Amino acid sequence: MAKVKTKKMVKTIPEWCKACGICVAFCPVKILKLENDKIVVTDQEKCTNCMLCEMRCPDYAIYLEEQE
Amino acid sequence: MSQGSQLIQDNFRDNRLPHIWCPGCGHGIITRAIAQAIDNLNLDKDKVCVVSGIGCSSRATGYLNFNTLHTTHGRALAFATGIKLARPELKVIVITGDGDATAIGGNHLIHSARRNIDITTVLFNNKIYGMTGGQSSPATPYHEKGTTSPYGTIDPDFDICKLAIGAGATYVARSTAYHVPQLTKHIQKAIAHKGFSLVEAISGCPTYYGRKNKKGDAVDLMHFYKDYALDVKMAEKVDPEKREGKFLIGEFANEERAEYVDEYMKIVERLRQEGSQDE
């Protein structure tokens, strides 16, 4: 049986975000933006779970977590 | 309450976060890569000791949740040598910066490499002294600016990887804050390697290096590393004109040589046996 991969959700910790814009610039599907200098996810559905935002966030303010 | 990803919760003192590094500083990315490498290797956390010196990079030991030691300027490797000789079963990882390791700590770096002592050094190279206000360091590129070199430094910069290889390090690699998977892989191999290993992790300093040299913000610095880093394996294949202005990343050395603690223990054992024969 093929392994079913559960899709992960993008989670953010606005208090840790310093608005450097790295995740926004490198998100391949462009679903991240800064609003009042804090990170916001605009469209969870489009996320490909590539993990680039989590890997390159210097402040650990954005990450992927499996859905409950 | 614990916050952050599982990796952060497992390996960081998350009550110390957010950290003090500037917005867009690459140090956070590299520190996470170190935690990821340790996590991937499944090391016993009590058997990991992270030692740092002084500078922006060396703040990392405050955030990592292992045995940690924040020591004096340039001397992280000296403290780490003591730890490794006293407790050889520990995985000793040194976090240092370009100023910390190649200026005031230059001697400790070359002699640790010469001894081939089993320590992993992750050198955060932001090409400037960030903490004290942007003075140029031995890694500031030739003709680039810092607060102590407003017209561009006339001191040629060190190639830190070549320096480590020349001094005798047996695992040497370079990556950047942009190339995170490669960086994690190099740190992982360096920790598993027996002998002195050095991973130079190029980090962006938007606050001083980026601003002084008009290289833009954090995102621009990341683009610079993306566009100008050339893998050492690729470098042999591409045309010379495509190599112009680029810097090399990848693995530069991976060899085996007698390790210092082993050699020391052999002497201890030999003298013990000779002593017991005399009785």
On whether residue A2 sits in a domain, the answer given is: no
Give the residue from chain A lying closest to B182, CA to CA: A55
Q: Does B29 touch chain A (CB under 8 A)?
A: yes
On whether residue A48 sits in a domain, the answer given is: yes
On whether residue B1 sits in a domain, the answer given is: no
How many structural domains is chain A composed of? 1
How many structural domains is chain B composed of? 1
Expressed as residue numbers, the domain containing A14 is 8-66
Q: Does B25 touch chain A (CB under 8 A)?
A: yes
Q: Does A64 touch chain B (CB under 8 A)?
A: yes
Per-residue confidence in pLDDT tens, chain B, 279 aa? 678 999 999 999 989 999 999 999 999 999 999 999 999 999 999 999 999 999 999 999 999 999 999 999 999 999 999 999 999 999 999 999 999 999 999 999 999 999 999 999 999 999 999 999 999 999 999 999 999 999 999 999 999 999 999 999 999 999 999 999 999 999 999 999 999 999 999 999 999 999 999 999 999 999 999 999 999 999 989 888 888 889 999 999 999 999 999 999 999 999 999 988 876
- The enclosing domain of A49 has a CATH number of 3.30.70.20
Expressed as residue numbers, the domain containing B61 is 6-278
Q: How far is Cα B14 from Cα B172, in angstroms, rounded to an integer?
A: 31
Which of B262, B227, B206 is closest to B85 using CA atoms? B262
The ipTM (two decimal places) reads: 0.92
Closest approach of chain A CAs to the CA of B179, in angstroms? 9
On whether residue A51 sits in a domain, the answer given is: yes
